[in-house]
Structure formats: C-alpha cells, structure tokens
C-alpha cells in the first residue's frame, strides 16, 4: 500500500507489500530486503542437516526458464528448489521450442498449462522477466535470474547476505565494485541493494570505457584508479571480465587490465585490514583476480555460493507465499463478482 512505488516495484509486490515476483532490487523497501536476508538465515542451517530438505514447497512446480546459458545460477536455483521439496523442470530454451519458431508467449502458455507455480527466468534481453511477469497467469511467480545488462537481484541479495554475515550490517560500510561495471547486471543490482540497505559509500572502479555514465545517478562514486578507489574500503567485489570486451576494443589486453585493475595482494593492501573479497563467479584467475587473493584468507567467494542457495530458497518461498495469498484474494473477489468460473488464478 505504498502509493509512491515505482512501476518496477508495483508488479513485484502484492497490495499488502509482500513479495510476489522478484525482478529487481531497485525501489524495493528496505524492510523487504531485510526480510529476505532474515528468512535466508533460517535456511542456511538446512544445508548442514542429515536430510537437506524442508517440505515447504512440496507439490509446487518450479520451471527454470533459461534463454541464456548458465551453469552456476541454474544449478543453485535447482538445488534451492529441491531443498524446498519443489519439483523442478529445467528448460534450456536456447536449444528447444523457441529455436523451432514458437513465440515466447506460446511457450509460456504451454508451461502454464502444465500447472507451473514459478518461472525462474534468465534472458539476454533487459526487461524480459518483467514482460513475462506481466503476462503470466496470476498464480505464477516470476524470479529474475539475470536479464541482459539490467538486473540480477538474487545474486545481489546473496552478496548482501555475505556482507551482513561478515560485517554485521551495512551502516558505515564502504564497498568497492571493481571491473566491467558497464555491462554488469550484477553491479547494478548490488548498487541498488547497498543503497537501500544503508551502506555508507558505494564505489565503482574500472577503466573509463567500462564505467556507466550515470554512476552518480545510480548512487555510487566513480574511480579509475585502484589505489584511490580501494582506500579504506570494507568490502571488495570483483566482477568477471568478459572476454568479448577485448574483441569490441573496449580494452587493450587482458594483461594490461590485470596490471591496472586485477586484484592481487599489493592492491588489496589499500583496503582495510579486515576487508573481505567477493566475486560472483566464475573467476578468471590472472585476469581480474590473482590466485593469491582468490584462495587467500580474505576471500569469501565459496561462502557466497553456499549462502546463495539459502537466499534463493528464501526468495522462492516468499514469492510463492505472496503469490498464494494474492491469488487466493483475487480468486475470492472474482468469485463473488462472477461466480466460480471467473477465478482464473485458482487451481
């Protein structure tokens, strides 16, 4: 019931402010992001049990709809759904129906007809998950698993979880994000989440060709020099350098990028002594990060993966729970208006 919500948030939330779809961290209320982190905290322990499963989403069907290939994100979403006891269907769309000429909407209608409860969507085009969220039948929740250069909200939230786990909170924190910011949906979602959660300063470090022009509007400070940018930061987030960037002449060479922006122990000295090093993976050793740092005592890269499963469990159960309450309400209201035949969201 927040009248000032941006359109992106309106489609994500139910009328009473619960998560319904998870498409972007932008414009979400701080309390909701904190709820995601708190709920994830209670799922972390499930991974350490004899039986790594809770029956919360038993009987629900989660469809992984990956229009762009991904191994890590897809498999952690799959594992998260399985640990919630949901049934999981993996669709590698790049190799399936759409390549035979079926339209996206027809694919969606077919999956709805299979009584899916959730779509986890990865798409090369920015905004595709929003389009799908607006088109799906009201009983289906949509989770954005990365769209174009736009957003990757579950990655950002698992990073927020990792930061909160090691730093206790966000107040007073200086966080640096390093590398190819311009093409990074992860960075964009991280900047929004860090600002909403109250981090003191968000810095973006990279060569001018790989920095966004609207960084200040995003709520971040820009640096092109590692020594200045990393000074006194609490958290260093390295981004993967995509090799395609070299081909498009945005960078001279991998070697030069590593010399200027690659994180080694010498450059890490500029950060605070207790600074942690994060990376969304997969890492390119010797391109954006040196092995001495990636495998070093301040690296929390593998812990991010573990927390990622718990955070995805939290987002999935919250969205399905919000979706249920919303479609129940909708079904009730359409029922009273049009009789039982009008209740499309009810199954």
C-beta closer to other proteins: residue 277 or 320: 320
Instruction: Single out the residue of 1, 3, 7, 55 in contact with other proteins (rule: CB under 8 A).
Output: 55
Work out which of 10, 30, 45, 171 binds other proteins, going by CB under 8 A: 45
Nearer to other proteins, 42 or 336 (CB): 42
Applying CB under 8 A, among 53, 208, 259, 269 the residue interacting with other proteins is 53
Shortest Cβ 311–other proteins spacing (Å): 14
Of residues 51, 114, 213, 337, which one binds other proteins by CB under 8 A? 51
Q: By CB under 8 A, what part of segment 259-318 binds other proteins?
A: 317-318
Stretch that binds other proteins, among 40-48, 94-102, 229-237, 288-296 (CB under 8 A): 40-48
50 binds other proteins (CB under 8 A): yes
> Of 12, 24, 39, 107, which lies in the binding site for other proteins, with binding defined by CB under 8 A?
39
Report the residue number, 4 or 31, with the smaller CB distance to other proteins.
Answer: 31
From 47-55, 231-239, 243-251, 291-299, span contacting other proteins (CB under 8 A) = 47-55
324 binds other proteins (CB under 8 A): yes
Q: Which is nearer to other proteins, 10 or 53 (CB)?
A: 53
Q: Residue 79, interface with other proteins (CB under 8 A)?
A: no
What is the Cα–Cα distance from 316 to 141, expressed in whole angstroms?
A: 8
Residue 215 CB, shortest distance to other proteins, in Å, is 33
Of 5, 8, 11, 41, the residue at the interface with other proteins (CB under 8 A) is 41
Nearest distance, CB of residue 193 and other proteins, angstroms: 17
SS3 letters across the chain: CCCCCCHHHHHHECCCCCECCECCCCCCCHHHHHHHHHHHHHHHHHHHCCCCCCCCCCCCEEEEEECCCCCHHHHHHHHHHHHCCCEEEEEEHHHCHHHHCCCHHHHHHHHHHCCCCEEEEEECCCCHHHHHHHHCCCCCEEEEEEECCCECHHHHHHHHHHHHHHHCCCCCCEEEEECCCCCCHHHHHHHHHHHHCCCCEEEEECCHHHCCCCHHHHCCEEECCHHHHCCCCCEEEECCCCCHHHHCCCCCCHHHHHHHHCECHHHHCCCCCCCEEECCCCCCECCCECHHHHCCCCECHHHHHHHHHHHHHHHHHHHHHHHHHHHHHHHHHHHHHHCHHHCCCCC
> Where do contacts with other proteins occur on this chain (CB under 8 A)?
18, 35, 38-39, 41-42, 44-46, 49-51, 53-57, 317-318, 321-322, 324-325, 328
């Amino acid at each position: 019931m927040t009248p000032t919500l941006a359109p992106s948030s309106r489609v994500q939330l139910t009328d009473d402010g619960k998560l319904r779809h998870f498409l972007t961290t932008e414009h979400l209320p701080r309390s909701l992001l904190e709820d995601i982190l708190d709920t994830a905290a209670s799922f972390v322990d499930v991974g350490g049990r004899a039986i790594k499963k809770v029956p919360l989403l038993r009987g629900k069907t989660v469809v992984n709809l990956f229009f762009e290939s991904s191994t890590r994100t897809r498999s952690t979403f799959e594992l998260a759904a399985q640990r919630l006891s949901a049934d999981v269907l993996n669709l590698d769309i790049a190799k399936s129906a759409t390549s035979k000429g079926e339209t996206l909407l027809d694919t969606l209608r077919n999956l709805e007809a299979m009584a899916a409860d959730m779509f986890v969507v990865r798409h090369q085009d920015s905004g595709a998950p929003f389009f799908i969220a607006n088109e799906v039948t009201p009983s289906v929740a949509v989770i954005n698993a990365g769209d174009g250069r736009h957003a990757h909200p579950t990655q950002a939230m698992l990073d927020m979880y990792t930061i909160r786990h090691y730093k206790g909170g966000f107040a007073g924190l200086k966080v640096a994000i390093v590398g190819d910011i311009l093409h990074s949906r992860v960075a964009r979602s991280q900047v929004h989440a860090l600002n909403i959660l109250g981090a003191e300063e968000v810095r973006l470090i990279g060569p001018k060709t790989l920095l966004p022009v609207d960084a200040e509007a995003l709520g971040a400070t820009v640096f092109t020099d590692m020594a200045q940018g990393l000074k006194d930061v609490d958290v260093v987030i390295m981004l993967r350098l995509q090799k395609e960037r070299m081909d498009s002449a945005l960078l001279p060479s991998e070697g030069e990028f590593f010399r200027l922006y690659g994180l080694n122990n010498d450059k890490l000295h500029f950060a605070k002594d207790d600074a942690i090093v994060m990376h969304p993976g997969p890492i390119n050793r010797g391109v954006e990060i040196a092995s001495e740092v990636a495998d070093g005592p301040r690296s929390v890269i593998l812990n991010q993966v573990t927390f990622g499963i718990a955070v995805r469990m939290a987002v999935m159960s919250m969205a399905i729970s919000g979706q249920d309450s919303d479609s129940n309400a909708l079904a009730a209201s359409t029922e009273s208006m049009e009789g039982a035949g009008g209740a499309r969201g009810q199954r």
